[in-house]
Amino acid sequence: MAIITVREALNSAFKEEMRDDPTVITLGCDIGVRGGPFGITLDLMKLYGKDRVIDTPISESSFVGAGIGAAATGLRPVVEVLYSDWITLGMDQLVNMAAKMRYMFGGKVNLPLVVRAPFGSGGGIAAQHSQSFEAWFNHVPGFKIVAPIEPYDVKGMLKEAIRDDNPVIYFEHKRSYAVEGEVPDGAEGESYTVPFGKAAVRREGTDVTIIAYSMMALRAKEAAEQLASEGVSCEVIDLRSLLPLDYETVMESIAKTNRVVVCQEANLRGGLAGDIVAEIIDRGFDLLDAPPVRVGALNVPTPYNKGLEELCIPGTENIKAAVKRALSDE
């Protein structure tokens, strides 16, 4: 096993998939010569040429549409939207075309499109660069949605997404690229993938189930470790895959703990946490000894000021408070 960063895990997945499959291409702003602002596609143009690593104009509507056309005609494009905030500019193509084409053509057209969408807040990048839109795509039939945070999952899920014949929205947290973790090296590292629809239990516990994804999964682990010193045993589930979502693992955990906290970094109103809570109630209301508790950002645009941003965006302390609230409802 090797210790690598999320940035290195993504770059490694790209190199292996592009080496093994000549139909894999990638396109987006500054991803070629520059290697992307986050360094994810570094050296890809040198290795695979400008016909497969395509620097595009600053026009998300055009290169998202180009990616959809490429997918429908035999290629496996990975489109990078530099900040997921700007995925709004390609929403017509994604929602009305990409999500529906395979269905509307009776399965005769595959659409192996991956849209990499760095999302989330932190670092004082203000209201137009800090948003999380995963709930929007969860509402649209036809997509698969993933949001891994550990380097092992980041690499394995990108490889899985590239090989999938359906459109995948691949959310990466903007502040995660330096996160380190173990990833297999050698032949095993090149061959493994992480399947969609299977959550990971990051910590076992008996008192409360904490469900989270992306950066909030890391915060949930931190909260669980701190609460353990207070005698509270939390089970932490990192969803990794948002659509499909592993409700089997979720409900097995709730059957054990009988209490649940669901965390998202996105604005709380209309978010994925609310949908997950509704599904939990439908599947196992009688398992709950207390009302589910949601954790999310305040329903305001993200401030530029870092102090104000910290007040708006949930973190470890918010999760700890939510766990205590869940335990207080006897």
**The CATH number of the domain where 171 resides is what?**
3.40.50.970
Assess whether pLDDT exceeds 60 at residue 330.
no
Same domain, 181 and 66: yes
Model confidence pLDDT, tens digit, residues 280-325: 999 999 999 999 999 999 999 999 999 999 999 999 999 999 999 9
**Each residue of 190-240: pLDDT tens digit?**
999 999 999 999 999 999 999 999 999 999 999 999 999 999 999 999 999
Q: Say yes or no: 254 and 128 in one domain.
A: no
- What is the tens place of the pLDDT at every residue in 179-198? 999 999 998 989 999 999 99
List of residues 6+ apart from 4 with CB closer than 8 A: 12, 151, 180, 181, 183
Residue 130 binned pLDDT confidence (cut-offs 50, 70, 90): very high
Is residue 40 located within the same domain as residue 134?
A: yes
- Average pLDDT of the chain to the nearest whole number: 97
Asked if pLDDT for residue 329 goes beyond 70, the answer is: no
- Can you give the CATH number for the domain in which 318 is found? 3.40.50.920
Same domain, 127 and 209: no
Which of 7, 52, 129, 159 is catalytic? The answer is: 129
Domain shared by 179 and 214, yes or no = no
State residue 123's pLDDT score. Answer: 86
Choose the final residue of a domain: 132, 157, 191: 191
The backbone region for 39, taken as left when phi is positive above 0, alpha when psi lies in -120 to 50, beta otherwise, is left
For 253-285, how does the pLDDT look when each residue is reduced to its tens digit (9 = 90+)?
A: 999 999 999 999 999 999 999 999 999 999 999
Indicate the number of domains in the chain: 2
Same structural domain for residues 235 and 130? no
Q: What share of the chain has pLDDT > 70, as a percent?
A: 99
For 322, the domain range is 200-327
187 and 204 part of one domain: no
Looking at the fold, whether 221 and 167 belong to one and the same domain comes out as: no
Per the annotation, the verdict on 173 as an active-site residue is no
Examine the fold and report which residue of 132, 167, 191 is the final residue of a domain before the chain moves on.
Answer: 191
Listed residues 191, 213, 230: the one ending a domain: 191
**214 and 179: one domain?**
no
Residue type, 94: L
> Domain check: are 103 and 148 in the same one?
yes
Same domain, yes or no: 267 and 314: yes
Indicate if 65 and 137 belong to the same structural domain: yes
